[in-house]
A and B are shown apart, each in its own frame.
Chain A
Amino acid sequence: MKILQNSNFRALSKIAEMKPEEIIEIIKKSGLSGRGGANFPTGLKLEFTRNSQGEKYVIANADEGEPGTFKDKLILEKNPNNIIEGMIIAGHAIGSNKGYLYLRGEYSYLKNKLQQVINNAKKISDKLKIYFDIEIISGAGAYVCGDETAIIESIEGKRGNPRIKPPFPANKGLFNNPTLINNVETLANIPLIILDKNWNNNLRLFSLSGNVTKPGVYELELGTSLKELIELGKPENKIKAVYFGCADGCIPYEDIKLDYEAIKEKGAMLGSCAIIAVDEKQDIVDVTTNIAKFFEYESCGKCTPCREGTMRILELLEKISLKKAAKKDLELLEELCRVISATSLCGLGQSSTVHLTTALRYFKKEFRDKLK
């Protein structure tokens, strides 16, 4: 896999002579965009943060919590060097000398190894007169702490709850100072982009799981057909649907291009490139209920629609599963979906119903068949 090529601090030596603006320009030109799921242009984010006033921070979001996503884990395990190098380069570009690596609680077994990489990087960057400290902060297992503002609250020692945006972290982030937050995969790309002018920015790490016999991380280009990816996973049965993680919805299995636009047209999102295959032996209502359980459990509890709504959604889905629900329950379910996605405070709440809206759009019959 290309993303696992160890840049070995060669990119750091290269940028030591560069002006920060030049680094930002290279990243902008490369077209690198956020790999956490939002796909926001990284170069712009760097520029916004650079242009903000105050002491600045870099945060690496290693709180990979989206169900079905495990590509960051692979990079953290196999090529942590690039992540750390990417952080230092980003820090240098925006004018920051302090970074935090926010590590998912379940990944704490990687902490020692990452600390060694950080110590080693510190020696090398100091020699290059690039002064940058990195601290590892362990998450405690909350899904919501993958949200950038919840990470900030958590690092500040507060309850891991999202903040109201705006202000955005680029203006007011950690300790109310300008903060750059990037996903692990995004950061790992930075040194490779610096070293290779022709770096292929269309490569993505697809986490494939579900009803396949060969689940795992596959590095493919954007625009690859879904069929090609699923076949790599060698499914035993006919695939009925695919879910894009849990937050980004589902589509019926068909030969569709894996790119952001094509999937958006279908009402789902490619997000962090997590593909969960569901075969025809599965009951979509069961799958949906299972996902609803996840969102109910992981709601941070701050805002009304997410806290109360996800619980009521689960309640209604369980009612449907038990064949006790009537048509009006299904209508209430749809109403809840609309309001939760439109009024939740943070992205996680807003996207907590996409799986259900898309399931109801494509597999409504399975729900209807269970009404009393």
Chain B
Amino acid sequence: MKITINSKEIECQSDKTILEVAKENNIEIPTLCYQEGFEARAVCRICMVEIDNKLLPSCSTKVKDGMIINTESKKVLEARKINTELLMSKHKKAYFGESKEHELFKIAKDVGIRQVRFNNNKKVYIVDKGIAIITDNNKCILCGRCVQACQMQNVSAIDFAYRSYHTKVTPAYENKLDDSVCVNCGQCLLACPVNAIYEKDDTKDVLKVLKSKKHVIVQTAPSVRASLGEEFDLPAGTLVTGKMVSSLRKLGFKKVFDTQFGADLTIMEEAAELIERLKENKNLPMITSCCPGWIKYIEHFYPELLNHVSTCKSPHDMFGAIAKSYYKDKYKINKKDLVVVSIMPCTAKKFEIQRKEMKKEVDYVLTTRELARLIKIKKIKFNNLADGDFDSALGLSSGAGTIFGASGGVMEAALRTAYETVTGKKLEMLEFNQIRGMSDFKEGSIVINGKTINFAVVNGLGNAREVLEQIKNKKCKYDFIEVMACPGGCIAGGGQPIPTNKEIVQKRMQALYLNDKNNTIRRSHENPAIINLYKEFLGRPLSKKSHKLLHTSYIKRGT
């Protein structure tokens, strides 16, 4: 069918919205509350277009044959300007050093607002400073994108309360976020167009400790190398491992290590745990435990199923435990002087290191965005840096460790090791393509010594609930399940550069798989540093020492 936008005739499909058709035809309509993949709420009233003398929201209005649409009429421009101005007056204009473009400011600039004619917001709110996530209602413009993101995660920790201009987004009973069911995944923060939600900034503390005489070491998560470049205007999917290492060295870290070493270690323990559970036919299906958002989710919503969760600590915490035992002793560092910093794609990791089960093995977690901020503060010319290498011992890793950053990666890495240790045979084909990619639910099976192992990979907590219901109702056919809280895995984590959208996430994912492919070591159990660690220190997977250092327990939180 045909419609007309700004006097231009356009052929289009009938089930689309005006906004979708406009986008396809490179006609720009500014939006604020709209986010791709979600039902349009149509509340910001910025994307209004004129049809038959009436203004309608383009995000929720479907096209009709013969429709004549004007996206730039006098009426439209007046409405867009006033509604933007109204939101500007609501938004406290304090700026937090964020990496993204501020969507409201961008629109304000585009519609030509030079001065807001209304007074500042009448309401003053107390900023909720959480362990991992900070919410500032003084900046909130009530677009509802965070609420939608939280609903998508099936957590619904936040929603609207009150009415009129007293309306605000808050956890139930106006509790603090830390006292709610929030799992700190940070998807709300990625969704927020005005930086009203942001990570707890630890850059100051890290700068301070770097200046001190302490022995500060750093580890970087797999997915950070595939996204950090975006903060320095490199295209999404650029691997910047070498520059990242160099920049960390320049920042003054004594040693730059790799969380992928911790990931390889996790695989050794987790594969052994799986083999044991399969042998004893106990606590199956086993579910992965790398993701702190996921762990808090199951602790809140399905505490009765906690026995299914692997007891392995997450890779960076395993690294921390090894650093503060093996590394500390080997290099004769005073316990008080050793500081471990993790660079993570994740806000939930900030919460994780504060868990009492973790015994302060990691001292600080910085997100990808915070690391970029540090580099910028220190005026390091990132793009001009020469490539550096990770320090030895705890910096050597396999390709299996790399793919931890993408949904399906932990499963694939674990299967590589489990298969080869049990059968003693080499896998001909290392790639498990059925569990790669952006799909939110993936499954497959593998035969190990005549026994078929069924496995599933879930990302996004909304999808995790379905699998948990299956387990609860004893209808689950899987033996091993990987769960990641964020849609796509850590590459879409709450600590990643903004914007993080499907297209960008896909590119980051491709980069990680390419990195794995190009690695000479692709199996965790073939990592010489890991082999050495077991020989010198741990003995074997699931040994007494391993249990003490590398495994953890969970608590029942409830809702």
Contact = CB atoms under 8 A, between A and B. Distances in A.
A143 to B, nearest CB: 9
B82 A339 contact: yes
Nearest to B159: A159
A265 interface: no
A311 B122 contact: yes
Contacts of A309: 82, 86
Given A308-B90, A308-B165, A312-B86, A301 B142 contact: yes
B238 interface: no
B163 A305 contact: no
Interface residues of A, number: 30
Interface centre among B55, B82, B118, B159 (most CB of A within 10 A): B82
B57, B86, B89, B142 interface centre (most CB from chain A within 10 Å) = B86
Contacts of B79: 305, 339, 342-343
A116 B442 CA distance: 56
A111 interface: no
Given A299-B164, A338-B78, A339-B82, A308 B87 contact: yes
A298 B55 CA distance: 23
B476 interface: no
A303 B43 contact: yes
B164 A304 contact: no
Interface string B140-169: 011000000000000000011011111100
Contacts of A297: 164
A345 B89 CA distance: 20
Nearest to A160: B163
Interface in B78-92: 78-79, 82-83, 86-87, 89-90
A149 B193 CA distance: 28
Contacts of A338: 78
Contacts of B118: 312, 315
A240 interface: no
B404 to A, nearest CB: 39
B86 A305 contact: yes
Q: Is the interface of A mostly helix, strand, loop or mixed?
A: helix
Contacts of A343: 45, 48, 55, 79, 83
A164 B90 contact: no
Nearest to B118: A312
A336 interface: yes
Interface in A235-255: none
Contact of B117 (A164, A296, A301, A332): A332
A338 B117 CA distance: 16
A307 B82 contact: no
Contact of A311 (B45, B57, B165): B165
A75 interface: no
Contacts of B212: none
B42 interface: yes
Interface string A333-372: 0011011001111000000000000000000000000000
Contacts of B122: 311
Given A308-B90, A315-B119, A339-B78, A298 B164 contact: yes
A310 B164 CA distance: 9
Contacts of B99: none
Contacts of A257: none
B45 to A, nearest CB: 4
A307 B142 contact: yes
Contacts of A332: 117
A307 B42 contact: no
Counting chain A CB atoms within 10 Å of each CB, which of B43, B46, B89, B122 scores highest? B43
Contacts of A315: 118-119
B163 A142 contact: yes
B65 to A, nearest CB: 16
B75 interface: yes
Contacts of A335: 78, 82
Given A144-B163, A164-B42, 6 more contacts: A300-B164, A300-B167, A305-B79, A305-B86, A342-B55, A344-B45
28 contacts: A144-B163, A159-B159, A164-B40, A164-B42, A296-B164, A296-B165, A298-B164, A300-B163, A300-B164, A300-B167, A301-B162, A301-B163, A301-B167, A304-B43, A304-B44, A304-B45, A304-B142, A305-B45, A305-B83, A307-B165, A308-B165, A309-B86, A311-B122, A312-B89, A332-B117, A336-B82, A339-B78, A343-B55
Interface of B: 40, 42-46, 48, 54-55, 57, 60, 75, 78-79, 82-83, 86-87, 89-90, 117-119, 122, 141-142, 159-160, 162-167
5 tightest CB-CB pairs across the interface, nearest first? Answer: A301-B167, A308-B86, A339-B82, A299-B164, A343-B45
